[in-house]
Amino acid sequence: MYISDTHLKSFLADAGLVSQRDFDAAEAEAKETGKPIGEILTTHNTIGEDELRRTYAYILGIPFVSLTGTKIKYEVLSLVPEPVARRNNVIAYNHRGEELEVAMLDTDDLAAIDFIKKKTQLKILPRLTDVASIKAALKQYQQSLKDNLGEVIRRETEVLEKGETEKDKDLQQVAEGVPAVRIVDTLLRHANAQNASDIHIEPMEEKLLIRYRIDGILHDAMELPKSAAPAVIARVKVLSNLRLDEHRLPQDGRFGAEYGGEKISFRVSVLPTYFGEKVVMRLLRDSISGFTLESIGFHGLALERMHEAIRATTGMILACGPTGAGKSTTLYTLLDLVNTPHVNISTIEDPIEYQMKRVNQTQVRPEIGFTFANGLRSLVRQDPDIIMVGEIRDKETASLAINAALTGHLVLSTLHTNSAAGAIPRLLDMGVEPFLLVSTLRVCMGQRLVRVLTSNKEKYELSRDEQGHLERSIDAGAVLKALKEEKVVPKDATWKDVSFCRSKDGAESPAAFAGRKGIYEVLPVTSTIKELVMKNATSDDIDKQARSEGMLTMTEDGIFKAAQGLTTIEEVLRVVTE
C-alpha cells in the first residue's frame, strides 16, 4: 500500500494521531534505515498497527471492515482454505453473485488474491481489516467444524467399540492408539475454539458425558458410548504423566499443547466416582501479558485506588471472591504492571496458572511438605521486592504474609471471601493482630465475572416498577453520580434517562454473550477503616464506612457496566447472588 510520506504526514497531523515531532523523528529514522515510516511509527508504539491500517484505508479509499463479533457463513468462510487464511491473513466473509469480498491485513498481497481468484473463479474485492478481526474469523473455522468433529469422534468411537476392550488389551496401547488420540485431540481443539475454560469428562451409567464451561456456565458438548471411557481417560492420563493402573485415588497432572498458534496449558484432575473416573481439564492460555486494569473492568475511583496501591513499595493487596471469580487474572495483571527491570518478583502458587517473564514462580507441593507457609518463609530470603502468594489459607501463611509486608515488601494475595469487607474479619479470625493488619493492608477488592453482551443487542428503558426495585437494592445515587462523572450519561440525567441493553435473541441464546469482564468493589484501608478494625467492627460496619467514602459495591459496579451496555442487569444479579 503505497502512500507518499507527505500525504501520510498531513493526514496523521490533521487527525491528531501523531505529533509533528514524532513524525519528524520517524522520517529521519526512515532515511537512515530505509524502512517505511509507517513501520517505524508502529515499532515505537507511536500509533497502533490497526489504527495505521484504518488510516491507509481512508487515504486510499479502500473500505475498512471489522469482523469482530460477526458470524460468517461456513460455506463462505471455507472458500479460502484455513491454512491459506492463516498464512496470508485473509478472510472470505461475503459472497454475492460473482463477487467475493475478502478482508485482509495487506491488500497489496496480490499472490493471495490471485490464488483465491483461481480457486473460486470469482471476482475478488479486497477490504482492509484489523488483527482482532482476523483472529476472530480464524476461530470460526474451528467453531464451524463442530459437525465434522462430531463425525470424527463418532467414527473413531465405533473403531474402539469393535476393537479389544480394556481387559483384553494393555491400557498403554489403548491410550496410544489412533482412535483415542484422535478423539481426545478433537475434544481439546473444539473446546479451545469454543473459548471453554474447563472440559468435564463425566462417566455415567450408560454413557460418557462431555461438557464445556464457557463464560462461567457449563454446557453439554457431546455424549460418547460408555465403552469409549477407558481409552479416552487413559489418553488424558498419558498426556498428563499420570499412573494408568491407579483407579481408586485422585490424581493431578498437567500438559501443554498448541492450537492455532496459541500455547495452552491443561491442568488435569482425575477423581474416582461411582461409574468410573471423572476428568476435569482447566484450559490456561499461557500468555497473560497485555492486560490492563481498564481492560479487565476497573474504572473511575476504583481504578485510581488500584494504581495508588501498586505504586507503594510495601503493604498488602488482597483480591477476594469465590473460585472462578477471576482473582488470579487480576493479580497477574497487577504483577504485569509492576514487572520492571528494577524489581525482583517472586511468587508461590498452587498451581502456576500463567508463566510470566522475569518472574520467579514456585509451585507448592504439599505431598512433600512444601506448603504456602514453607515457601513464603524461603521466599523472603530471596531478596524480593514484590511477593505474590496464591492464597492465604491458614494462620501461619497469614502471619508470614503480614510480616513480609511489614518488612519492606509489597505482597499480593487472595482470600476466599464473598466481599472486600469480609476479608478483614477473616484475617482477624485467623489470628492476625489488628494493629499489624491496619499497618500493612492497603486495599481489599471483591470481584465476580459477568458475561459480556455481543453486538446483537438492543436498548430499553426500565419501567417505573423496575426503577423502584433497582433503587431499593443499590445506592442508585452513587451509581448515577459515577455514570455522570465518567460521562456515560449527561450531567443532568436522571434514572429515567438511563438505558440498558439486552440480547435481541434472548438471554438463553448461545449468541447472546461472548467473553467475560470483572465487576469490582475496591476498599482502601483509610484512617477511618483502621479505627473500625481496631474496635473489632463487623464487616457490615466496614462496608458501610467504605461506601460512605465513595466505594461502589460489586452490584453497583455491575449496574454501572449494564448502563454502559456491556452486560445485562439480570446477569449482574445472577453472579452476585450465586
Report the 3 state secondary structure along 317-374.
EEEECCCCCCHHHHHHHHHHHHCCCCCCEEEEECCCCCCCCCEEEEECEHHHCECHHH
Q: What percentage of residues in the chain have a pLDDT greater than 70? A: 86
Q: For residue range 176-229, what is the model confidence (pLDDT) as tens digits?
A: 777 888 888 888 888 887 778 899 999 999 999 999 998 888 888 888 888 888
Cell 493431578 maps to which residue? Answer: 252
- Does residue 203 have a cis peptide bond before it, meaning omega lies within 30 degrees of 0? no
pTM of the predicted structure, to 2 decimals: 0.72
Higher pLDDT, 186 or 565: 565
Q: Of all helices (H) and strands (E), which one includes residue 521?
A: strand 513-524
Residue 557: pLDDT band (50, 70, 90) is very high
**What is the rounded CA–CA span in Å between residue 353 and residue 286?**
8
Q: Residue 168's pLDDT is what?
A: 41
**What is the rounded CA–CA span in Å between residue 243 and residue 137?**
39
Residue 454: pLDDT band (50, 70, 90) is confident
Q: For residue range 476-499, what is the model confidence (pLDDT) as tens digits?
A: 889 999 999 998 888 888 888 889
Instruction: Judge contact between 348 and 401, C-beta under 8 A.
Output: no
Q: Residue 131's pLDDT is what?
A: 78
Q: Of all helices (H) and strands (E), which one includes residue 502?
A: strand 499-503
Angle at 433 between CA 317 and CA 553, to 5 degrees: 40
Mean pLDDT score across all residues of the chain? 85
Residue 142: pLDDT band (50, 70, 90) is low
3-state secondary structure of 552: coil
Higher pLDDT, 219 or 505: 219
Instruction: Judge contact between 332 and 288, C-beta under 8 A.
Output: yes
Q: CB-based contacts of 433: which residues, under 8 Å, 6+ apart? A: none
Q: What percentage of residues in the chain have a pLDDT greater than 90? A: 42
Residue 145: pLDDT band (50, 70, 90) is very low
Largest CA-CA distance found in the chain, in angstroms, rounded = 80
Residue 452: what are its φ and ψ, rounded to 5°?
-100, 135
Residue 16 gets the label, from left (phi > 0), alpha (psi -120 to 50) or beta, of left
Higher pLDDT, 92 or 286: 92
Q: CB-based contacts of 94: which residues, under 8 Å, 6+ apart? A: 76, 100, 101
Mean pLDDT for 96-104 is 89
Instruction: Judge contact between 443 and 318, C-beta under 8 A.
Output: yes
Higher pLDDT, 376 or 57: 376
Mean pLDDT for 316-345 is 92
Q: Residue 563's pLDDT is what?
A: 93
Q: Of all helices (H) and strands (E), which one includes residue 284?
A: strand 276-285
Q: Residue 429's pLDDT is what?
A: 93
Ranges 138-147, 257-266, 439-448, 567-576: which has the least confidence: 138-147
Burial class from Cβ neighbours inside 10 Å (0-12, 13-18, 19+) for residue 323 reads exposed
- In this model, does residue 446 exceed pLDDT 90? yes
Burial class from Cβ neighbours inside 10 Å (0-12, 13-18, 19+) for residue 49 reads middle
Q: Find how far residue 567's CA is from the centre of its chain.
A: 16
Q: For residue range 509-529, what is the model confidence (pLDDT) as tens digits?
A: 766 888 899 999 999 999 999
